[in-house]
Amino acid sequence: MTDLTGMKIGMLIEDEYEILEAWYPKLRLEEAGATVVVIGSGQKDSYGSKEHYPMPADVAVGDVNAAELDGIIVPGGWAPDHMRQHPQMIQLVRDVHAAEKLVASICHGGWILASADVLRNGRRVTAYGPIKDDLVNAGGNFVDEEVAVDGHVVSSRTPADLVPFMKAIIAQLANQK
C-alpha cells in the first residue's frame, strides 16, 4: 500500500453531496496515511448528504489556502451546484490547479472544474454524463471512461468508478510526494 503520510488533501463539502463520493475518498486517503481536511463554505459546521448523512467541516474555505494543500477533491451529488455559489471555493480549486497539485472531481464535481477554468485547452475529463456539455463548453475533452487522468487532474463518473478513481488519485499523490 502506498504511504501518503505527511500529505494534506482538501475535500470540498456542501449540502446534498453524494455520500460515497465524499466518504470513500476520505477514508481511503486516511487509510493511506494522508490527512484529509474537509472544507466547507463556512455557513455551517456540518453538511448533509442527499440522504442527510452529516459530514463535519474541519475548516471554512476562507481559512485555508492552496499552499497548505497537496491536492483537492470535489465530490459530486448536488453539492457542486451549491459550491459554485461560493467564489472562495472556486478560487481555491483554481489556485491548487495553478500550483499543479492534484485536482480531482467525480460525478457533478466536474462543474467546479468548469467554473475554476481547469478544463481550458482540451484537458481530458470525465464526469456524470448529463454534464458533458458543460465540460465541453468549458474547454474540456470529454471521455466516457471510468477515470480520466490528464496531468495532475483526475476525474471520474459515478460511485461505481470509485475504486479506479482512488487508485489514480493515490498514484498522482505518490508522484507528487
Across all residues in the chain, what is the average pLDDT? 97
* Residue 124 grid cell: 481530458
From CA 101, how far away is CA 114, in angstroms rounded? 17
Task: Give, for 3, the enclosing helix (H) or strand (E).
Answer: none
Write down the pLDDT at residue 177: 86
Q: Give the 3-state secondary structure of residue 161.
A: helix
Instruction: Render pLDDT for 104-142 as a digit per residue (tens, 0 to 9).
Output: 999 999 999 999 999 999 999 999 999 999 999 999 999
Instruction: Render pLDDT for 4-27 as a digit per residue (tens, 0 to 9).
Output: 999 999 999 999 999 999 999 999
Q: Please tell me whether the overall predicted TM-score, pTM, comes out greater than 0.85 for this model.
A: yes
Write down the pLDDT at residue 1: 73
Instruction: Render pLDDT for 136-172 as a digit per residue (tens, 0 to 9).
Output: 999 999 999 999 999 999 999 999 999 999 999 999 9
H helices of 32-86, where?
Answer: 79-83
Report the pLDDT averaged over residues 80-103.
98
Write down the pLDDT at residue 93: 98
From CA 144, how far away is CA 5, in angstroms rounded? 33
Write down the pLDDT at residue 84: 96
The structural domains of the chain, with segments of one domain joined by +, span 8-176
Instruction: Render pLDDT for 44-77 as a digit per residue (tens, 0 to 9).
Output: 999 999 999 999 999 999 999 999 999 999 999 9
Query: Among all residues, which ones are annotated catalytic?
Result: 108
For domain 8-176, give the CATH number.
3.40.50.880
